[in-house]
Amino acid sequence: MTHIWVRAEQRDNETRVGVTPGGVAELMAAGLSVTVEHSATRVIPDEEYAKTGCRMAPSGSWTRAPADAVIFGLKELPDDGTPLPHRHIMFGHAFKGQPAGLCLLERFRAGGGMLLDLEYLTDDNGARVAAFGYWAGYAGAAVALKCWAAQQKGHLPGPVGAYQSSTHLLSELQADLLATGTHRPDALIIGALGRVGRGAADLCTAMGVACTRWDVAETAGGGPFPEVLAHDLFFNCILARPGTPVFVPASALTPPRRLSVIGDIACDPDSDFSPIKVYDRATTWREPALRVCEDPVLDVTAIDNLPSILPLESSEDFAAQLLPVLQTLGTPGADIWSRAEKTFHDHLARL
């Protein structure tokens, strides 16, 4: 019997979960065994999971889980260097040469475990089967607009936090923008046809922000792209890969330039493939914007767990996408999981 162990997230400001209580019930009905760790911060309370009849376990006890258990979480494991003997389903950020990712792969090699990276669960056409992208785009555009509103008052934005719902977020953001007057910025979105871009565009539309929407066709020439610098806001909504063109070169720090806020929603600053060359580190909930130029002002916001700003809506959406795939976890030869295993072994072999 396949055993899925849902671990409690240990990262600050991470309250999402990859499977709902309803999903746990469906997994058990399909013949899988499910253990859910207690969590004081998870957006869905422990008691809702306990009602399904699944086994509940102490927070952080996944390290002592049975050897055949598949450990399922979303964000990073504690960076303590310990070997990892289990199979793990999570966002590992380990397959594009990131320094922290290489350390993670070394831990799997040392322990004999395996990373089944959620970012690399794909169908036969290479499309991701589950993603938080829409809500990343939605929340990322909201944070960028908060940065722009703060600029109009001559300062950087204050800390951001989680919202009970998108309605609550929109209400607060509307008040922020109204406090700046009647003028609204315009925005250029690259990756507008994808999940992330659609989320960013929907947020902008709700706030009365005019959007120029680009995708593969508009960027096929490889740049440079002066149009990026001619908008107030720029949203990067694509997953950087080898061959991705540079959208914002280092030379963008010098005038002339209208661009005043970059929302790097894809947020991969330490990758060699990053298409934004004016910053080198992610921003945080406490300090959501990084000022990279004073004259004219240019701020970058690049938070790497944006969907956690809307934890319930994003969790329910992602869990619904992923559930059919989790149900095949114990099926011999399931293509999605076989591809994920091959991806892991290919990258492990390159260490």
What are the residue numbers of the active site? 75, 93
3-state secondary structure the chain: CCEEEECCCCCCCCCCCCCCHHHHHHHHHCCCEEEEECCCCCCCCHHHHHCCCCEEECCCHHHHCCCCCEEECCCCCCCCCCCCCCEEEECCCCCCCCHHHHHHHHHHHHHCCEEEEHHHCECCCCCECCCCHHHHHHHHHHHHHHHHHHHHCCCCCCCCCCCCCHHHHHHHHHHHHHCCCCCCCEEEEECCCCHHHHHHHHHHHHCCCEEEEECHHHHCCCCCCHHHHCCCEEEECCCCCCCCCCCECHHHHCCCCCCCEEEECCCCCCCCCCCECCCCCCCCCCCCCEEEEECCEEEEECCCCHHHHCHHHHHHHHHHHHHHHHCCCCCCCCHHHHHHHHHHHHHHHCC
